[in-house]
Amino acid sequence: CRRLTEQEYSMVADILCEFLEVAIHLILYVREVYPSGIFQKRKKYNVPVQMSCHPELNQYIQDTLHCVKPLIEKNDAEKVVVVIMDKEHHPVERFVFEISQPPLLSIRFSSPLLIRNDTLLSHVEQLLRAFILKISVCDAVLNNNPPGCSFTVLVHTRDAATRNMEKVQVIKDFPWIVADEQEVHMQEPRLIPLKTMTSDIVKMQLYVEERTQKT
Amino acid sequence: MDELYLDNIDEFVNDHDKIVTYKWLSLTLGIHVNTAKQMLFHYLDHKRKESSAQLHATYLVSGKFVDNGQTSHKVSVVREEQLEDVKAKMSLIVSVHVYSVQKALLKDSGPLYSVDYDAVKDNLKNCSKYSAIRCATAVPMSSLELQQAREMHRPPSPEPENKKPAMNGNGILASKPSAKPAKGIMGMFANKSTPKNQDSGREIKSEQKEDAPVVDAPKSRPAAKANPMMNFFGSQPAKKPEKNVKEEEAAQSSSTAAEKQRRSPQPEQKRGDVVAEPQKNTKNDSRSKNKRIEDSDSEEDKMEKKKRRRIKLPEPDSSDEDVIPDSPPQMETREASPSPKKEVEAVTHSYQGNSDGKIRKRRRVLKSRTFVDEEGCIVTEKGYESESYSETEDDFQPTKQALRDPFKASSSKDDEKKSQKKSSASANKGTKQASIMGFFQKK
């Protein structure tokens, strides 16, 4: 067994951030947070996904993930949550991505060729595809949202928040603030697990917390 | 067939929330596709009678379609609500059957493709084992033959794009349907295997019209897509005959086996993909799909090794810009050899020496420019620009915006939130997000 190198951690963080970007766009599409007209079919992991064309929205999501990436690299990010809120800014749904990275890599990856290990990567790609598919059909298990919803992204970190605030303010004019209690906790949530994946380089779980009474 | 299958399907649909397509079912249970279709039909029927769960279904409809005097064969996957509509529009219906059953109401057809993707990939060598389309001469080429074919086909590069369809990957689709002349009159209509849709899409095989429990009411997906599709047909008077195509339908003026347009026209770079399909012996649809997936996988692997990239592939990535070679796109070359989509890019680039030893290449990149027009709307336009890039350049930059279609964010979009965003954007393009922390930041 060996520890992952910095380069490998960075690679894993890249993979996860790419995935999260696609996942966020897809959640916005499937849960109808924005009208479907702004979305366009694109390809990721060899399957069609819906991505938004709106430049501001895209920039916002990219900036968000740009800040999240260093946290993931250091394995400081425990959860990344996409919260959908109603008009009064009370959360109605929370898509929680719990992420963890194994500290040690198993023996078969002893050589530093992890980056080019195609079997591993295509396996991870397959698992991520399954996540994407699951998100696409999640409205079978969720109730409809009220109109006029907005969204935000929260990151739960493992360490003390203040220390991480400095890490996170990497982009000027894109500040992060400590989240309100009301955004973080939902009243009477219903828990709906969506998907879990385990691979050598990352473990991820996706579940949805849904408010019982949405309207 | 015993009744156990009903429970199986029930488990997949209700407990696992899966989308069950007939192809996935056939590969999972190891049964013939027609059996799978019938099973799905019976299941749907059964459940509807019980009126228990809320189920949705999609159907595949294939038949003759007349548009402006041009007859073509159209295959589409439609939602249940649109089934009758679509059936009414067809002049002759060759086949209708259940395509998939699921609990969720699908907003678009993307997941249907994803469902089958992994199932087919796992069974790549024999994914046509349960299929109804057969052709004895459709045999994958050996790697030697493959290489020879590639070498031969490279020099006579892209053909002139006289048929410039409004849509992107469809030029190729014009190719063929090779069909086996089956028995009698059914042979005329049956077994029209159609080339794969852009990304080794799906079926498009027209099934043998048999005892299939004719289910009705597919929903026609491509309501809007039918138009661009028809444009395409309109501009296609003559079909290029494929090499070993056995054309049965002499009667038809334009023998395009339509594509079931499940997706909106993919960006140009996908054209490369489609070239791979019309191999000379595209009788067996799944088989050529085999090849495509195989090819694309091996291409990806190669590219990964070459460029030291990860899962993120150099091209059809959602956040990347369109990359097309300087020469006219390869889509016109359909000399029946699976020209790999990415190799085309890599190979046809012109090399430029560079002082620091990296290989610099030029490529035409589809870049989008966002600007505010007179009316205060944000307009995004795409245009090709030539840029040089280095092979080792890291193209994973978070700030890329690959906006494909000119997106006019006019205020006709009635989302209030969006219009608010736009007005603030047009007023003040510099800031990303109005935030209260801005007040505290300047110290």
Contacts for A177 with CB less than 8 Å, ≥ 6 apart:
B435, B437
List the one residue out of B105, B99, B4, B127 whose CA is nearest residue B53.
B105
Separation in Å, CA B340 to CA A75, B215, B279, B295, B299: 38, 39, 12, 7, 7
The position carrying tokens 């719990």 is A98
Contacts of B409 in chain A (CB under 8 A): 38, 54
Q: CA-CA distance, B149 to B153, in Å (whole number)?
A: 6
Q: CA-CA distance, B360 to B349, in Å (whole number)?
A: 9
pTM for this entry: 0.56
For residue A123, the tally of other CB atoms under 10 A from its CB is 15
Contacts of B414 in chain A (CB under 8 A): 35
pLDDT at A162: 52
Q: State pLDDT tens for residues B236-294.
A: 443 444 333 333 333 333 334 333 444 444 444 444 343 333 333 434 444 444 444 44
Q: ipTM greater than 0.90, yes or no?
A: no
Nearest to A46 among B104, B117, B396 (CB): B117
The most confident of the ranges A169-178, B28-37, B337-346, B368-377 is B28-37
Confidence category of residue B51, pLDDT binned at 50, 70, 90: confident
**How far away is chain B from the Cα of A44, in angstroms, using its nearest Cα?**
6
pLDDT at A49: 92
Separation in Å, CA A4 to CA A74, A101, A123, B388, B432: 11, 10, 18, 34, 35
Residue B106 to residue A136, Cβ atoms within 8 A: yes
For A123, the closest chain B residue by CA position comes to B311
pLDDT at B391: 54
Contacts of B311 in chain A (CB under 8 A): 15, 18, 45, 121-122, 124-125, 128
Residue B432 to residue A22, Cβ atoms within 8 A: no
List the one residue out of B280, B68, B270 whose CA is nearest residue B171.
B270
Residue B312 to residue A125, Cβ atoms within 8 A: no
Higher model confidence: residue B318 or residue B390?
B390
Separation in Å, CA B328 to CA B159, B320, B422: 8, 20, 37
For B403, the closest chain A residue by CA position comes to A53
Q: CA-CA distance, B152 to B338, in Å (whole number)?
A: 12
Q: How far is CA B105 from the centre of its chain?
A: 21
Contact B205, B70 (CB under 8 A): no
| Tokens matching residue B264 | 């909106």
Residue B114 to residue A47, Cβ atoms within 8 A: yes
Nearest to B433 among A44, A60, A116 (CB): A60
Crossing angle between the packed helical segments B285-307 and B110-122, to the nearest 10 degrees: 90
Query: How many CA atoms, within 13 angstroms, populate the side-chain half-sphere of residue A36?
Result: 9
Q: CA-CA distance, B395 to B347, in Å (whole number)?
A: 19
Question: Burial code of B235-249, b = ≥16 C-beta within 10 A, e = fewer?
Answer: ebeebeebebbebbb
**Stretch (H or E) spanning B334:** none
Q: State pLDDT tens for residues B73-121.
A: 999 999 989 999 999 988 899 999 999 998 888 888 888 998 888 888 8
Residue B90 identity (one-letter amino acid): M
Per-residue pLDDT of chain A (215 residues; tens, 9 = 90+): 677 777 778 888 899 999 999 999 999 999 999 998 999 999 988 899 999 999 999 999 999 898 888 888 888 888 899 999 988 888 899 999 999 887 777 656 655 556 667 778 888 899 999 999 999 988 888 888 888 899 999 888 877 655 656 656 666 677 777 777 777 788 788 899 999 998 888 899 999 999 888 76
Residue A121 to residue B311, Cβ atoms within 8 A: yes
Contacts of B19 in chain A (CB under 8 A): 133, 137
- Helices then strands, counting H and E runs in chain B, come out as 14, 11
For B404, the closest chain A residue by CA position comes to A53
Residue B404 to residue A40, Cβ atoms within 8 A: yes
Contact A63, A17 (CB under 8 A): no
Q: What is the mean pLDDT of chain B?
A: 60
**How far away is chain B from the Cα of A26, in angstroms, using its nearest Cα?**
11
Residue A62 to residue B111, Cβ atoms within 8 A: no
E strand residue ranges, B171-225: 178-179, 192-193
Confidence category of residue B352, pLDDT binned at 50, 70, 90: very low
| Lowest-confidence segment of A18-32, B45-59, B348-362 by average pLDDT | B348-362
Q: CA-CA distance, A64 to A176, in Å (whole number)?
A: 9
List the one residue out of A150, A87, A136, A58 whose CA is nearest residue B380.
A58
Q: CA-CA distance, B148 to B295, in Å (whole number)?
A: 15
Residue B1 identity (one-letter amino acid): M
Q: CA-CA distance, B59 to B82, in Å (whole number)?
A: 9
The most confident of the ranges B94-103, B295-304, B342-351, B394-403 is B94-103
**How far away is chain A from the Cα of B400, in angstroms, using its nearest Cα?**
9
Residue B407 to residue A139, Cβ atoms within 8 A: no
Residue B418 to residue A14, Cβ atoms within 8 A: no
Q: CA-CA distance, A180 to A183, in Å (whole number)?
A: 5
Residue A56 to residue B118, Cβ atoms within 8 A: no
Residue B114 to residue A126, Cβ atoms within 8 A: no
List the one residue out of A9, A21, A81, A72 whose CA is nearest residue A45.
A21
Nearest to B418 among A34, A60, A125 (CB): A34
Contact A22, A51 (CB under 8 A): yes
Query: What is the CATH T-level fold of the domain B3-134, as seen in this structure?
Result: 50s Ribosomal Protein L17; Chain: A, (3.90.1030)
- Domains of chain B by residue range: 3-134
List the one residue out of B387, B396, B19, B85 whose CA is nearest residue B221.
B85
Q: What is the DSSP string of chain A?
A: -EEPPHHHHHHHHHHHHHHHHHHHHHHHHHTTSS-GGGEEEEEETTEEEEEE--HHHHHHHHHHHHHHHHHHHTT-EEEEEEEEE-TTS-EEEEEEEEEE--SEE-GGG-SS-GGG-HHHHHHHHHHHHHHHHHHHTGGGTSPPPPSS-EEEEEEEESS-HHHHHHHHTTSTT----PPPHHHH--SSEEEEEEEEEE-SS-EEEEEEEEES---
Confidence category of residue B171, pLDDT binned at 50, 70, 90: very low
Q: CA-CA distance, B222 to A26, in Å (whole number)?
A: 21
Chain A / chain B CB contacts < 8 angstroms: 164
